[in-house]
Amino acid sequence: MDIFNSFLSVIMHVLITVFLLFYLPIAWICRLTAFVFVKPFCKEDVRGKVALITGASSGIGEELAYQYATRGASLVLVARREHALKKVAKAALGKGSPDVLVIKADISKESECKRVIEETIAHFAQLNHLVVNAGLLSSSLFEEITNISAFNQVMDVNFWGAVYTTYYAIPYLKNSQGNIIVTSSVAGRVPTARMSFYNASKAALIRFYETLRAEFGSDIRITILTPGYVASELTKGKFLQKGGEIGVNEEIRDVQVGLFPVGYTDKFAEIVVESACRGDEYVTWPSWYQPFHAIMFFAPEIINWYSRSFYLTKPGVDSSKALSRKILEATGAKKFLYPSSIRSPTAKLDCTK
């Protein structure tokens, strides 16, 4: 067996290299041809269809609701903050959605996800697009965490919340040959320091839905989103913090985001819905994040160096003194790189779970 494995270790590298040399040029030509000549004329019309969006009370979820509304889709808006959902629902109706169903639910609980799907079908009798978008960000060095059990909720919300909702939606999505839109993150491909649990949850989402894509085939399309930093409550500094509480910490936000520009949510939402209707499998936005995937694959040591240099401090030094924040403050770049919506020091966020 050892000899056989040694033989495969040599021959598989050669065979796959030769295969890719022939396959990749053909695949790229086919993708380019489809992108230019086929997909622009085969966009899905969501008018009269039903889109369910979790985490719809603010940020990306809210803007996705407005994009679907302008295209004439009916909406199911899901989150824990009912008062915020009702405001989004009212705005969505004003933008053209014919009907909006608001459901207050905690999607980290399986029973709640089942109820969400049941209420959706009872009201609309169909489901066409499922947008699993609810998310919770954590930012803390692993060894600084003082309440480790509290970090279960990162996986419960980011991963299991999406899995539970998808599980109960499958029969209806198959019936409509629908689409699942998954809000992951570039952090799921390119993990950096201070976000260990968040990175893990987003990486799990990517691999889970890539597996489902293979299982479902053409029955259900899946569009996986891997955005960089986008204006939302998360980039306002709303984190699960080292003690296990959810709070707002703009200093740590500045450490984490640093000199990376924060994109406008409405622009990202527009691109997402357009891509989902076009049948795209992945959306990375802004597109300049895409080369980081290659760096992580071919030279992961560069990502490690960047993390240690910009996000870590010497022992005993406050984390808010990290190099990324020092440069941000010294250059005054925040006013150019961060939208005004996340720069306000008086921003009030609902930090209820």
Angle, alpha carbons 353-89-109 (nearest 5°): 35
What's the CA gap between 62 and 230, in Å, rounded? 13
CB distance 310 to 324 below 8 Å: yes
CB distance 320 to 329 below 8 Å: no
| Cis peptide leading into residue 286 (ω within 30°) | yes
48: left (phi over 0), alpha (psi -120 to 50) or beta: left
What's the CA gap between 128 and 151, in Å, rounded? 33
Mind telling me the catalytic residues?
Answer: 198
Q: Could you tell me the sign of the dihedral formed by the alpha carbons of 227, 229, 231, 234, in that order?
A: positive
What's the CA gap between 92 and 71, in Å, rounded? 11
Could you count the other beta carbons within 10 Å of the beta carbon of residue 56? Answer: 31
What amino acid is encoded at 350 in this protein?
D
CA distances from 59 to 68, 97, 198 (A): 15, 19, 17
What's the CA gap between 225 and 206, in Å, rounded? 9
Tell me the pairing of strands 282-283 and 246-248.
unpaired
Burial 240-272 (b: 16+ CB within 10 A, else e): bbbebebebbbebbbbbbbebebbebbebbbbb
Instruction: Determine whether 191 is exposed, middle or buried from the number of CB atoms within 10 Å of its CB (0-12, 13-18, 19+).
Output: buried
Tokens standing for residue 83: 């008062």
